[in-house]
Structure 1
Amino acid sequence: MKKRVLISGASVAGPSVAYWLHRYGFETTVVERAPELRPGGSAVDFRGAQVEILRQMGVLDEIKAHETGMGEVTVVDRDGQPLAKMPGEFMSGEVEIMRGDLARVLYDATRENTEYIFGDRITGLTETATGVDVTFASGEDRTFDFVIGADGAHSGVRELLFGPEEQFATHGGCYLAGYSGTNRLGLDRTGVWYNEPGRGVMVTSYGVGFAFASDVLTYDRQDVEQQKKIVHERFVDVGWKTPELLEDLYDANDLYFAAIGQIHLDRWHQGRVALVGDAAWSAGPGGSGTGTAMLGAYVLAGELATQADHREAFAEFERQLRPSAKIGHGQAKRAGSFLAPGSRSAIWQRNLMCKVMFAGPIGAWFNKVTMRSSDIVTLKKYA
């Protein structure tokens, strides 16, 4: 009889785990609290071994068909004059795709052999000698052999296992927002970046992004209109092209809004339940989170399929992924101050750093450093 696995989260890590578990003979169910796949989100990129995972899943060509193909990003002053440039490989890795497009590709690759339940969530977990009894918000009760929490930085499964998010989350001092929108600047796979103290605006050929320094805000994560109001209030007095971009904000139907932050856990599993991706080790921008999540899905499924004892499988999964997660945390630690420097002198220093960092041999060294979190994981061949 096939072992049944419930996976919480239908974004990236969840469908990736479902893909590999089905390939190894498990029966998979994915539950997602949203009523449908979430559109939009920021661009995500893949490097090194992460690209090999996409190839082995058979989705690399489809992802390349939707890739952003982003080139260099130019930092400009208030009048649009260039101050510094960042090469495409720094911003976009080897392959870059919008998160919403990636979620659709992974869903299409798994929907024929995985049960998807939208508009519901896990509210209770009770482990028994042979499985996990699961209660859903809809009132339904079901039993599974294992449960995987792949439900993001605000994981409900993690809260049921280990307690409130505040115990494990660190705030990065910055918020990000973005939406796909009109290409007002007529860009061709390039980007333009403007900063004022504590705030940053980036425009690309596929959308608009905002970053602003802030302490922890209290807001409803389900209230998009409230989030749009927060962004508008923070940027209403910013110069350059910002007033025009804010005109498009209220028409956006795919707003992404979240704090930069990290999740640090001493362990990623308990009994028959395990966490993967941002639910376990969210790093933030620059931490290679999406690619590492898909690496984690590959290893987690492979170990669960080949180990006789699930406890050994989960422990080995952690052993292999923790070094990569640690590097990701380090890479993303100062993302907020890079995206939205707090003063004019800090903006000047950031721009100077970009000029030096991407020049000659130093640029080659830096690109090598950004590959570490992906290539530190050795891809085992699971039967």
Structure 2
Amino acid sequence: MAVRQGTVERHQMIRPENEAELSAAIAGANGPLRIIGGGTRTVGRAQGEVLSTAGLSGISLYEPGALTIVAGAGTPLAEIEAALAAENQRLPFEPPVMGALTGAAGESTIGGVVAANASGPRRIQAGACRDSLIGVRFVDGRGDIIKNGGRVMKNVTGYDLVKLLAGSHGSLGVISEVAFKVLPGVEAVTTVVLHGLDDQTAVAAMSAALCSPYEVSGAAHDPHHQKTMLRLEGFAESVAYRSDKLCETLARFGDAAVDDAVDWAVVRDADMFDGGTGDLWRISVKPSDGPRVGAAIGAGRRLYDWGGGLIWAEVPAGFDLREAINGIGGHATLVRGQGCGPVFHPEPAPVAALSKSVRAQFDPRGILNAGIMD
């Protein structure tokens, strides 16, 4: 009987219930393995028998006073966030939920978040997922169980595999457990909004806001609605004071006003692209180059996040986006659709050689998410 997980369907699915079973499954594999968590971050073209980490679930340690949490890779992201919210705490990097964009029916897991280094609008202030990750356990391509980092906040000595695993998309090892530092929640959130700005002016306004002393935790621009959004968080009195001052700072760009109704989850998850029929790309560039990318793409819907440094772009199916932005710099990843060329941005030859060498050390048989970078 076929087994379905999100958009994945296979006649056999390996679903270990603990780390020992995961190790045995990888060591005994006779061919490539396609690694999934909840099946919501199906970026890439990995081939092979499906190995799901969904059985490695559960919060094994949570110490609110120490601001740390440890959980199995298959633990649903929603479960992590609910446990933190109950103690008025949160993951600093605001992880996005990607299932709707890729058409997956699964549930995002914390291991998938780490494997993708998935980071939301607050990245500009709090850093990426890898910056909050303090420990990781994983199984390499030989079936060996490896631990790096720890369960408390401390300086890392030796090789920092914690950072290496984040964003490796399962190509170096299958994550079994992760440990994070967390932050307290906030009392108040508000957004300063500017309307009617073109892309270049919007990026200039976002840069001015981010360079101000008012601690902006989100900076996004929606060209479709010509809406530029700057988020402030913290104690209520502080947020009120900083939002007023930020409106004054941005007055040269237009009429800035406070809007408490802005839903940053829509920006975080790029919800405006749900159900789209074109190719969806995620483009990372210098913020000052964001408007150049938008002009090069031309028609199609876009969303600027991270002050203009992250661009979501929906273009007609098969459009050669990388050729269109060639010479600008940065890199583009295909999130949905067939696109034109590889899913991940081709690496320069020296970097590609280094990446290949690192993968060969962790996965000498080349069985973990084989072909994911093609």
TM-score, normalised via structure 2 length: 0.29
TM-score, normalised via structure 1 length: 0.28
Q: Which has the higher contact order (CA 8 A, sep 6+)?
A: 1
Greater helix proportion: 1
